[in-house]
Amino acid sequence: MAPDHLPTPEGPQDLKLSRRTLGGLLFTGYAAAALGAEARPIVTGDHGLIAGPVSFVGSGETDYPPSLPAYVARPQGSGPYPVVIVVNEIFGLHAYIQDVCRRLARQGYVAMAPGYFARAGDPATMTDFPEIMAVVRATPHAQVMADTGAALTWLDSQPWADVARAGITGFCWGGTVVWMACAAHDFKAGAAFYGRLVPPAQNAEDGRRWPVDIAAELRCPVVGLYGEADQGIPRDSVEQMRAALATAGRTESEIIVYPGADHGFHADYRPMYDAAAATDAWMRLSTLFVERLGGGAS
């Protein structure tokens, strides 16, 4: 039987969690629908870090407190450390996203991955793509932007986090969130991995905007990291975004396209993982964050 309490990164104090929240927090495996048979996922240990589940009050969710789960990894020490929000793929808060948080924590950041899908379900445990997409579609864009703001508010209440130096990164679905959040919130830098840039042919949310629509509203530099062989994000949409950035005079933002790389090239647990592209993309993320956020305690 699962425990009713889990330790939190704030220290030894326990945090009361509902059974509904525990269901998502206790799953630590890789996304059931996407794990490659020959995958050798990168595993970053938590030695020297403080890492684990937390909960924060999301945007207007009142059916159970606390509203949303999250995973936080940070360096040991009092900080305050710069902050990076990590936005998941369609597969939710699974082991890969948690590992990305630990990688960032090892670079001197407080990394927080909010459980954006928790109100609708836990796609990490699902194997049926229509079921996964139903969870994604039940998580509207406006809610995601508000939950991102709520995550920053929670971090601002922690003495070891410096939200004045906040960045954001995300993958696939989360890559789109990065572009949009860098227009909606006061981030200092963003790194968007293969996020959709233009509306899909069948737009489930009428009236919502996409990255190509908000290029002029970006508040910080964003590096977009894309694969040449990505069939889900055609090159013409990448060129549309480049043109929108140029028209808006956003010369500090750029898009990198990796020859031969597929969608999900950074996801080391998936068959399309491309070590060369992933390594270069992480280097670009790291360089941008050091330049814009700094690292370590202030």
CA–CA gap between residue 82 and residue 100 (Å, rounded): 16
pLDDT at 180: 98
What is the model's pLDDT at position 4?
A: 28
How confident is the model over 111-131, as a mean pLDDT? Answer: 92
The two three-digit tokens of residue 150, written as one number: 């709520």
Tens-digit pLDDT profile for residues 3-54: 222 233 333 222 232 333 333 333 458 876 676 666 678 889 999 999 999 9
Mean pLDDT over all residues of the chain?
86
State the Cα–Cα distance between residues 166 and 190, nearest whole angstrom: 9
pLDDT of residue 103: 97
User: Are 270 and 261 within 8 A, CB to CB?
Assistant: no
The residues that bridge with 71 in the sheet, in sequence order, are 53, 113
Percent of the chain with pLDDT over 90: 72
CB 7 within 8 A of CB 235: no
For residues 119-148, give the mean pLDDT: 92
Instruction: Fill in the DSSP letter of residue 201.
Output: S
Q: Which residue has the higher pLDDT, 28 or 94?
A: 94
Task: Output the pLDDT for position 30.
Answer: 80
pLDDT confidence tier of residue 296, bands split at 50, 70 and 90: low
| Residue pLDDT, tens place only, 151-204 | 999 999 999 999 999 999 999 999 999 999 999 999 999 999 999 999 987 766
Structure tokens at 54: 């937390």
pLDDT of residue 250 exceeding 90: yes
Residue at 31: amino acid letter: A
Q: What angle do CA 49, 52, 54 make, to 5 degrees?
A: 130
- pLDDT (mean) for 117-123: 91
Per DSSP, the three-state class of 112 is strand
CA pair distance 126, 105, nearest whole angstrom: 28
Residues that are catalytic: 172, 230, 263
Give the C-alpha distances (Å, rounded to integers) separating 2 from 26, 32, 72, 120, 193: 8, 21, 20, 21, 34
Which residues have a Cβ under 8 Å from the Cβ of 58 and sit 6 or more positions away?
Answer: 67, 68, 114, 119, 146, 147, 150
Q: Where are the domains of the chain?
A: 5-293
Indicate whether 273 pLDDT > 80.
yes
Residue 6: per-residue pLDDT? 27
As a CATH number, domain 5-293 is 3.40.50.1820
Give the pLDDT band of residue 76 (cuts 50, 70, 90): very high
CA 177 to chain centroid: 8
Give helix 141-156 / helix 173-184 axis angle, nearest 10°: 70
- Position 271 pLDDT exceeds 50: yes
Q: Mind listing the pLDDT tens digit for each residue in 196-239? A: 999 987 766 668 999 999 999 999 999 999 999 999 998 999 99
Residue keyed to tokens 């796609």: 123
Strand, coil or helix: what is 265? Answer: coil
pLDDT given for residue 25 in this prediction: 37
**61 pLDDT more than 70:** no
55: which strand partners? Answer: 69
Q: Note the pLDDT of residue 204.
A: 60
pLDDT at residue 57 is higher than 90: no
The phi, psi pair for 21, rounded to 5°, reads: -70, -40
Structure tokens at 71: 């995973």
